[in-house]
Amino acid sequence: MPLMKVLGIESSCDETGVALYDTQRGLLGHAVHTQVAMHEAYGGVVPELASRDHIRRLIPLLERVLAESQCARRDIDAIAYTAGPGLAGALLVGASFAESLALALGVPALPVHHLEGHLLSPLLAEDAPRFPFVALLVSGGHTQLMRVARVGDYELLGESLDDAAGEAFDKTAKLLGLGYPGGPALAQLAESGRPGRFKLPRPMINSGDLSFSFSGLKTAVLPAARARELSASDKADLAAEFQEAVTEVLAAKSVAACRQRRLSSLVVAGGVGANRRRRQRLDEAMAKIGGRVFYPALDLCTDNGAMIAFCGAQRLMQGEGPDRGGAFAVRPRWPLAELS
Ligand code: KG4
Ligand code: ZN
């Protein structure tokens, strides 16, 4: 196995992530800057502001990661960066930074698929799953079940027909007046609430396939939210029921996917993977069929450079070369199934 240190650059949305991964020693250092405070005033991500902020953050983050890793720039053997999917301007910042640094250092630059990064992130943990496994990818933009045979071999088993799970958390949080980013705030509020007092549907739980649909859930929350002035405990109960509904559907479909494919390892990745209640539910559901759930470390659930560095390293170790020497392109829309 070739020994190398791969720098990872993530800038697809509202987090700037930089990390250094060593194929022998593992993760040497990683640092993330989140733009949440900057976008908060606007109630969502402003793409132009995101791009400008990535530019400001990349070099300081790189210096921090190198210091933490006790490495110098010349120790970098390759650079992996998120080339898509994501915001075009934000992706271009990371891509041009990575490609220029690679050119200056005379090392290869490798474009990486953001979702592949999420998908492989549980492999960074000490107790990593073995191939093949089923992966549940739950982020702000995607809800997908995939069969992962090995690095680069991904079969889409089912996905959301409308809103992603994270999007549903964010939109429902907005309805309850929780601001941006809503997912973590809603999850926190749900901790003090009681599910079952308000009744929400479990969309497509009995559809017999592995598709999801979450847009109806926020519509179902709407009448309850508008019927009267909600007290703090009403809001907590609604949040708890909402979280329960999403969690139940995700657990049921994940178990169905594992059964269907006769696999006992389930990997969960993406921002919504940070949800505690969901972890508990999934663990219970998988234990019932004699299976197990693997998660990335909590700080690697949301966007970060470590998963990009790791993904790039895996691909380089498989003998994959850099893209088109010097020229680069980003892909704001890029289906994971197109990877090989
Ligand atoms: O993977 P990620 O950081 O970005 C994308 O690639 O989309 O995921 C962000 C999403 C957001 O929708 C956020 O609200 C949601 O993950 N999220 C959560 C939690 N933490 C983040 N949703 C539910 N519970 C959480 N604890
Ligand atoms: Zn992400």
Q: How many structural domains is the chain composed of?
A: 2
Using the mean position of ligand 2's atoms as its centre, give its distance from the Cα of residue 41 in Å: 22
Mutation probe of ligand 1 site: the residue of 35, 191, 272, 308 with most atoms within 8 A of C-beta? 272
273 alpha-carbon distance from chain centroid: 8
Give the pLDDT score at 329. 87
Residues 227, 203 share a domain: yes
User: Which of 99-108, 316-325, 329-338 comes out lowest in average pLDDT?
Assistant: 316-325
Q: Is 105 exposed, middle or buried (0-12, 13-18, 19+ CB in 10 A)?
A: middle
Residues 220, 159 share a domain: yes
Residues 239, 168 share a domain: yes
- Which of 163, 142, 174, 139 is closest to 43 using CA atoms? 174
Residues 333, 237 share a domain: no
Residues 236, 138 share a domain: yes
The response to whether residue 304 sits with its C-beta less than 6 Å from ligand 1 reads no
Indicate if the pLDDT at residue 284 is higher than 90: yes
Query: What is the mean pLDDT of the segment spanning 304-332?
Result: 86
The response to whether residue 32 sits with its C-beta less than 6 Å from ligand 1 reads no
Residues 244, 164 share a domain: yes
The response to whether residue 86 sits with its C-beta less than 6 Å from ligand 1 reads no
Find all residues with CB under 8 Å of 159, minimum gap 6, and list them: 142, 143, 144, 145, 211, 212
pLDDT band for 323, please (50, 70, 90 cuts): low
pLDDT digits (tens, 9 = 90+) for 71-128: 999 999 999 999 999 999 999 999 999 999 999 999 999 999 999 999 999 999 999 9
Residues 260, 139 share a domain: yes
Residues 141, 264 share a domain: yes
Residues 164, 143 share a domain: yes
pLDDT digits (tens, 9 = 90+) for 164-179: 999 999 999 999 999 8
Residues 270, 163 share a domain: yes
Q: Which atom belonging to ligand 1 lies closest to the Cα atom of 274?
A: 26
Give the pLDDT score at 1. 60
CATH of the domain at 25: 3.30.420.40
Residues 185, 80 share a domain: no
User: Which of 17-26, 77-86, 224-233 comes out lowest in average pLDDT?
Assistant: 224-233
Residue closest via CA to ligand 1's atom 7 equals 140
Range of the domain at 246: 126-295
Residues 250, 171 share a domain: yes
Instruction: Record the pTM.
Output: 0.93
Query: What is the mean pLDDT of the segment spanning 6-22?
Result: 98
The response to whether residue 275 sits with its C-beta less than 6 Å from ligand 1 reads yes
260 alpha-carbon distance from chain centroid: 25
